[in-house]
Structure 1
Amino acid sequence: MSVVAARPEVTGFFDKRTFSIQYVVADPATRKCAIIDPVLDYDEKSGSLATRNADRILDFIAEQDLSVEWVLDTHPHADHFSAAPYLKEKTGAPTAIGDRIVEVQELWKEIYNWPDFLADGSQWDKLFAEGETFAVGELPGRILFSPGHTLASITYVIGDAAFVHDTLFMPDSGTARADFPGGSARRLWASIQEILALPDETRVFTGHDYQPAGRCRCRS
């Protein structure tokens, strides 16, 4: 007899500038939730920051009477800043990322000649190890190590939902690039096979929708 995985409520928030999809993952039983890969708005012409994306998420959370338990990043993003620190300030929820972030930070420290940079992951409250478990309300979560796009990429498996961000895109866009420092097409392929080996009922949520050839945006 197969065990049916818990089913979180998943709501996506699309950022038009970076084609990124941010997620609120909620336990319907407890009304507790996690925010995954929130975008901090950045205007490259003026160098100014804004919190439009994050505030839209906060408005939704308030409307739905949700309580934030986690603010989660799947990996360090090259195309946008993370709004995790801002959301922690607003909600009090801890921030987290995979523990291999320290390896990426060591690369950055050397590449950008930044000797004072703290390459210890202390910018987040929690560094998840491969296979580690956590919870969102009563929903079970676990960490699937998914390197290839970056050294630190992870997949959050929460109930029947897998949040893969750049590891897999929409079917008409393929997979992430693997040419960042520490990236590997071979490791990316292996990570994709692990994701595809998850139970058939698993819902896969990607972190981008680039809408090639003008295709309409997919909605979660």
Structure 2
Amino acid sequence: MTNPIVQPFWDKPTGSWQYVFHDPETMKGAIVDPVLDFDPLAAATGFSNAHRILEYIRAERIEVEWILDTHPHADHFSAAPYLADILNAPRGIGEKVRKVQALWKEIYHLPDFPTDGSQWDRLFADGDQFMVGNLPVKVMFSPGHTLASVTYVCGNAAFVHDTLMMPDVGSSRADFPGGSSAALYHTIQRIFALPENTRLFIGHDYAPDGREEQCEATVAEHKAQNKHFKDNPSEAEYREVRDARDATLGLPERMLAALQINIRGGRLPEPEADDRSYLKIPLNYFESRA
């Protein structure tokens, strides 16, 4: 079976990984979790990440068939709509995004906001399959970090988003609204049931101890080395560690801006009479963790 060629793209301000993978036989590919630049101090958006991706796919002559979100991100804006408009490619996300939309609709008090997932072209269910060139891509529902997270498995590559970090860091946080360390434990067990040589491509890396940024490790490497799983913890043991760690973490700097963009599929709010879009910040909904 042919395996995809995977090209990662690093966004240093948010510690985020974006990916392009393609079928080397047909040169058809997909983009996963592209980042729209956002300066939180100036409230300015930009396209440098998206343009790096466009330069790569044009240089390699890749025909993009899908632009895929793994979940609505809390730490960066999605550039999926921007790239979709340029590449004329459909956008997909997991079907449980509707639950995330409903949750954040209440947090932001958006009474007229539609929570039917219509901001994407396709909502994937667990077990759904679609093609990128001649390569089948299987969708795995992967809750825990969010209610809506999915993993995309293509050949020996799996895009596992914010479930696992690199082995020396462990796993991703599960304390956002709708998150669950119990669900995350079971999601990771399901990911570990993939073939041992499956390359797991993560959503973030913060490069501890000054090492170089990294984005992949195999299932076998995670089982042997992952900080949170190498000793094969029970669900209760894992949850104790994960929940204790999450209780010490502040909210992501861009979260309250990012979620109201990403529940819209990455679109900015409709411009007001002055042709400018505005964000809402829900004061005192979250407790300070300073």
TM tier, shorter chain?
over 0.9
TM-score (norm 1): 0.96
**Runs of 4+ off more than 2 Å:** none
Q: How much has 1:219 moved relative to structure 2?
A: 6.0
Q: Supply the distance in 2 between the matched residues of 1:110 and 1:216 (Cα, whole angstroms).
A: 40
CA offset digits 1:104-146 (Å, max 9, x no partner): 0000011111111111111111100110000110001110010
Partner in structure 1 of residue 90 of structure 2 = 94
1:128-147 alignment to 2 at 5 Å?
A: 128-147=124-143
Question: Whose radius of gyration is greater, 1 or 2?
Answer: 2
Tell me which amino acid in the other structure corresponds to 1:132: D
Match of residue 123, structure 2, among 124, 127, 139: 127
Match of residue 56, structure 1, among 52, 69, 80: 52
Q: Supply the distance in 2 between the matched residues of 1:146 and 1:109 (Cα, whole angstroms).
A: 22
Q: How much has 1:6 moved relative to structure 2?
A: 2.9
CA offset digits 1:74-95 (Å, max 9, x no partner): 0010000100000000100000
Q: How much has 1:215 moved relative to structure 2?
A: 1.2
Match of residue 15, structure 1, among 11, 18, 33: 11
Partner in structure 2 of residue 106 of structure 1 = 102
Unaligned runs of 5+ in 2: 217-290
Q: How much has 1:61 moved relative to structure 2?
A: 0.3
Deviates more, 1:48-57 or 1:200-209: 200-209
Q: Supply the distance in 2 between the matched residues of 1:55 and 1:66 (Cα, whole angstroms).
A: 15
1:45-84 alignment to 2 at 5 Å?
A: 45-84=41-80
Q: How much has 1:218 moved relative to structure 2?
A: 2.2
Partner in structure 2 of residue 163 of structure 1 = 159
SS in 1 for 2:14: coil
Q: How much has 1:200 moved relative to structure 2?
A: 1.3
Tell me which amino acid in the other structure corresponds to 1:213: D
Q: Supply the distance in 2 between the matched residues of 1:126 and 1:103 (Cα, whole angstroms).
A: 16
Q: Supply the distance in 2 between the matched residues of 1:206 and 1:61 (Cα, whole angstroms).
A: 21
Given that 2:202 and 2:215 are in contact with CA atoms closer than 8 Å, whether structure 1 keeps it comes out as no
Tell me which amino acid in the other structure corresponds to 1:149: H
Q: Supply the distance in 2 between the matched residues of 1:149 and 1:85 (Cα, whole angstroms).
A: 23
CA RMSD for the aligned pairs? 0.9
Unaligned runs of 5+ in 1: none
Tell me which amino acid in the other structure corresponds to 1:52: S
SS in 2 for 1:17: helix
Partner in structure 2 of residue 195 of structure 1 = 191
Larger fraction in helix: 2
CA offset digits 1:46-86 (Å, max 9, x no partner): 11110100010000000001100000000010000100000
Q: Supply the distance in 1 between the matched residues of 2:120 and 2:79 (Cα, whole angstroms).
A: 12
The number of aligned residues is 216
